[in-house]
Structure 1
Amino acid sequence: MGQLVFVYGTLRRYERNHHLLEDAKLVSQQAWTKGRLIDTGYDYPAMLLDNDDHVYGELYEVDHDVLKQIDKLEGYQGISETDHYQRTEQLVLSDLGEFKALLYYYPKEVQNTEEIPFGDWRLKKLLDQGTPHYFAYGSCMDHERIEKAGMLTQFKTLGLGLLPEHELRFTVRADDGGRADIVEMSGHQVEGIVYEITEQALKYLYNREGVI
């Protein structure tokens, strides 16, 4: 077995350095670990280990040669005085289980940096491009409920959506029953509706779904 590595920035899918992982095994595309994510201002993030917030990313199994390439990209040689990033092993969680994985982090805060909302670099990049398309499943496809909130005109239906490698489950408990959720699961797919939404609709969804 190779080495597990958790990535949260430019090594993620669709980011500019992902080509270094194109031959690596994707273990989980929805993984998270404890820490805090900051924007360096140079079009890449840095992770800090100074609190118990969540940082979201992807988990890969890499061989020795790929790990050396990542070390080079991150400026890591194992010499703390000159390394750009430090490297450590930390517990990473996903819908598929818990894993011990390497990750790269900054040892201390950098001046004049902003924290990345929700600890998710991919989400930040999407929001920087404008309001993203929205994939709805479960009660979020209930037009009557959205209309009662006066928000239906903020949702434009684009068509049927299929989310591969995920499964629909009822994992969230409430007084009136369960709530639909999607979890990562190989060989499954979730059906839903893809919408073009406005910024106002995004705020409505954040409030409805309890996004903090």
Structure 2
Amino acid sequence: MQHLVFVYGTLRQGESNHSFLSQAQFLGQHETPPEYALYDLGAYPAVVTGHQVIIGEVYLIDQDILKSLDELEDVPVEYRRELIETPYGRAWIYLYQDASQLDVLISSGNWCQRV
């Protein structure tokens, strides 16, 4: 079974966990509607519901990659998956579950341009 996934942090091109997507097909860039907020947790980001556009990439993945991503993202403990609309179809996005841990907002919505 194939899936689409929207990635916004360490899974993006040039970032530390991009190797998880080495067998995935890159479909393109995507900006979400202003319905989220991107936070810096140090080594990785967190996205929660908010009023910000999030910039990321969409990939076509198989069930094995999805399972690996779920393990990386510690689903359902640290993150949960939800489907969002993209120009390529409905894609999974990983949303952070503990908003009380969030205090460093990345106002650009772009993990790759954080300071």
What TM-score, normalized to structure 1?
0.50
> Quick one: distance in 1 between partners of 2:23 and 2:78?
25
Pairwise CA distance, 1:107 = 2.9
Partner of 2:21: 21
Is 2:78 the partner of 1:84? yes
CA contact (8 A) 2:78 2:97 kept: no
| Structure 2 residue aligned with 1:71 | 70
- Deviation above 3 Å: which 4+ runs of structure 1? none
Quick check: 1:119 aligned with 2:109? yes
What percent identity do the matched residue pairs reach?
A: 37
* Structure with more of its chain in strand, by fraction: 1
User: Which protein shows a greater Rg?
Assistant: 1
TM-score normalised over the length of structure 2:
0.89
| Larger RCO of the pair (alpha carbons < 8 Å, separation 6+) | 2
1: CA distance, partners of 2:103 / 2:46: 10
Q: Matched residue pairs, number?
A: 113
Gapped runs of 5+ residues in structure 1? 129-212
CA-atom RMSD in angstroms: 1.6
2:27–2:58 Cα contact (<8 Å) kept: yes
1:98: Cα distance to partner? 5.3
1:31-180 equivalences under 5 Å are 31-33=30-32, 34-41=35-42, 43-49=43-49, 51-76=50-75, 78=76, 83-92=77-86, 97=87, 99-111=89-101, 113-124=103-114, 128=115
Higher helix share: 1
